[in-house]
Chain A
Amino acid sequence: MVGSTFPPGSAIEGTFGLGTQLDMLWLVPALPLLGAVINLFAGRRLGKAAGWLGTLLVAASFVVAALAVQSLLGHPGQERLFVQHLFDWISVGSFSVGADLRLDAVSATMILVVTGVGSLIHLYSIGYMAEDPRFARFFAYLNLFVFFMLMLVLGANYLVLYLGWEGVGLCSYLLIGFWFDKTVNANAAKKAFITTRIGDTAMLIGLAFIVWRFGTLDFESVFGAAGATLTQGAATAIALLLFGGAVGKSAQVPLHVWLPDAMAGPTPVSALIHAATMVTAGVYLVVRSAPIFELSDIALPVVLVIGLVTTLYAGTAALGQTDIKRVLAYSTISQLGYMFMAVGMRAYAAAMFMLVAHAFYKALLFLGSGSVIHGMHEEQDMRRMGGLLRRMPVTGSTFIVGAVALAGVPPLAGFFAKDQILELANHTGRPAVWILGTIGALLSAMYIGRLVFLTFFGRPRSEAAERAHESAPLMTMPLLLLAVGAALAGALNLTPEGSLAHFLEPVVGEVPHGEGLAAWALSTIGGVIALVGLALTWLVYASGRVDQTALEARVDPLPRTLLNGWYVDSAYEKGLVAPAKAGAHLLASVVDAKGVDGLVNAVGGGVRWLAGAGRLLQTGFVRSYALAFFVGAIAVLAWVGVRL
């Protein structure tokens, strides 16, 4: 049974403070928060130092996290759980929630990824955002984001997790719309926030459900009592509601529409938030809540199906994009689909491994694309690129490493991750999932190959491409480091029962087993598929033997459909947004302007009318006033007379 494998009382004892390495856990989120606060209030005076401050604080957070994890590893597997109580947050009646941090294998993995990749992206941003007038503000937001993400993964109860959840949503909004003077960016930020809000609401309802059923939000308490407390229906409801939040945050179908538009933000933002960390929060949530999901018969299959659909949908859409960042955005959606497929098959360790590998190579790809865009003087259309490998060697070669990793070519990380997932599909009796997943792998090889060949190979197709230049070392250094990570991360988990899976086992349980095709056969198929995809795209886009325009004309209207993401966005626009806007307009111009204002004005008008009638009493004649006296006197007399 997942998640409750910690016997009660086996957690490591610790206090809040700076005593041991584990006691310093609170520093991990606190340092970025400090950076955010300093940069918000004093950032402008710091100038360039603001960037270095932010970077160093996140790097320091990484060091502290590493020390804490090292300390954790010093304990035997059954005892690797550390809960740190910061303060009592809510205490109402019998319901209490503490601001608690929890370090176990899952959250340890997450914090290392977040702070590690995060610090490299911060370093990169110093160079990338060097000329931006709101330089310090950018780093403040980035640090704030890292803080919230760490709170999300370190939370020991659903409320701290939700705090982080909402916080990263806020920072995503702030950062997507960082250049808010252009309406496009502001709209993208709004779209992101509103779309994820739908998921967040479902999640909140799920949390309320949990409180109702369990009376607490603490992970240990909830997961320990889950089996005894929840019926099938309740477990399904809670699981699906929480998954709703994951669908929003991790941009799965049908709430995926915000992520391609979110590319309006600066590239480091896309790298950090929309590739490596925030979008993986949904995966983390489901992995964390696995005990609840497993109690329901249909929750995990739903996750699997949505993951699969998303993988294929986004893979095809990525193939039709012309903007370099949008290809990567759809790619992210597709890769997240893979992770959810793994989760749906109860292979949580495989999903986590893919998460780690994806963080490396996707961040690398995004940062590389940022370097390309910088070098192309803000041009993002791939059709105008070409031949950049010669002009931007470091960027190009590291980019290719990342691309190969994504495509799933052995022996890079992406291969091992996808391989495990497809092997599980095959071994656990899901042939359809295996076949479709393999098609998805082919698609990912194809779209990334297309991107690489269009961008870096061939002849330059515009002036900007001809005059492109390599980026500063401040930007290329992180690229190199990430390339190393992307290449070597596979070593973490060479088999489904590799070291990472073993590390995660106390929390997520064992990896499912099964029978099917031999492992080496499946791996070979996977590797071959990746190479075939790359070869196909080389043929079409780089070898010069195929006329692209003729090819695109022959399969018309496919290119336009793929470019528009199978028209999901316009469907939403027509079906949901336009009626909502019309409804709002109706409310504003009719109900509010005429109804409510009319009512208020009518009250005013009524008072005026009353006053107009009432003033006629003031005739000015003394005699009529005297008559009024007399009337009153008679009335009083009559009343007294009647009483007597």
Chain B
Amino acid sequence: MALDNVVFWVFAPISIASAIGMLVMRNAVHAALFLIVNFFCLAVMYLLLDAPFLFAVQIIVYAGAIMVLFLFVIMLLGVDRGEDLRDPLLAQRPLAIVLAAAFVIEIAVAVRAGIGFATKAPEGFDLVNADGNTKALAEVLFRDYFLPFEATSILLIIAAIAAMVLAQRKAPSVTQAELERRGLIESIDAGVTEVPE
């Protein structure tokens, strides 16, 4: 029995179960924790697929940073209390489940028509990963995909600025009209004099 298969058949169900768990939990923190488990399972899948770099990045970025951020916000907003699981839209739940099942079936059919369920991974990946996956990845990244790389870096800066702008609280500002009303300036046209502390 190949180790790959064992690992796969252990972690695939766990990932599915944890995904389902995330879905059904009433408490948001519990759901987040289940998602973290799911991410770990996916990381293992990456490892199975000869992508060790991504395995590490998945854990560090997704499980370590993004989910932590999620937990911050959940606890900040105090919405970890349970939520009502009744659904006002009557057709939503059954229809969604049916459609989700239909989606999976469609993909399965497409895959079967495409590559078939028996195709195993071809052999030559060791050559690609010859000097280590990280090095190979870096070469592709900084050579072939350099422009997207730079664009992504700009994207990150923009995201950071956007977050700061969105989250900021506005300080109450004193308008000129207010100052004039308080008698601190003679008229709006004249200019500001002393602003008291």
Contacts and interface: CB of A to CB of B under 8 A. Distances in A.
A369 B113 CA distance: 108
B110 A624 contact: no
A623 B88 CA distance: 11
B99 A624 contact: no
B89 A623 contact: yes
Given A627-B95, A627-B96, A637-B103, A621 B109 contact: no
B109 A641 contact: yes
Contact of A637 (B88, B106, B113): B106
Interface in A628-644: 630-631, 634, 637-638, 641, 644
B9 to A, nearest CB: 28
B96 A644 contact: no
A637 B96 CA distance: 16
B92 interface: yes
Contact of A624 (B92, B102, B103): B92
Interface in B88-119: 88-89, 92, 95-96, 99, 102-103, 106, 109-110, 113
A634 B106 contact: yes
B33 to A, nearest CB: 24
A630 B106 contact: no
A618 interface: no
A644 B103 contact: no
Mostly helix, strand, loop or mixed at chain A's interface?
A: helix
Contact of B96 (A619, A630, A641): A630
A165 B162 CA distance: 87
A623 B106 contact: no
B95 to A, nearest CB: 6
Interface in A598-644: 619, 621, 623-624, 627, 630-631, 634, 637-638, 641, 644
Contacts of B109: 641
Given A641-B109, A641-B110, A627 B92 contact: yes
Contacts of B99: 627, 630-631, 634
A637 B109 CA distance: 11
A637 B113 CA distance: 14
A50 B103 CA distance: 93
A630 B110 CA distance: 18
A624 B113 CA distance: 32
B103 A623 contact: no
B106 A624 contact: no
A617 to B, nearest CB: 12
Interface of B: 88-89, 92, 95-96, 99, 102-103, 106, 109-110, 113
28 contacts: A619-B89, A621-B88, A621-B89, A623-B89, A623-B92, A624-B89, A624-B92, A627-B92, A627-B96, A627-B99, A630-B96, A630-B99, A631-B95, A631-B99, A634-B99, A634-B102, A634-B103, A634-B106, A637-B103, A637-B106, A638-B102, A638-B106, A641-B106, A641-B109, A641-B110, A641-B113, A644-B110, A644-B113
* A-B interface, 8 closest residue pairs, ranked by CB to CB distance from nearest: A637-B106, A634-B99, A641-B110, A630-B99, A634-B102, A624-B89, A641-B106, A634-B103
Given A619-B89, A641-B113, 20 more contacts: A621-B88, A621-B89, A623-B89, A623-B92, A624-B92, A627-B92, A627-B95, A627-B99, A630-B99, A631-B95, A631-B99, A634-B99, A634-B102, A634-B103, A634-B106, A638-B102, A641-B106, A641-B109, A641-B110, A644-B110
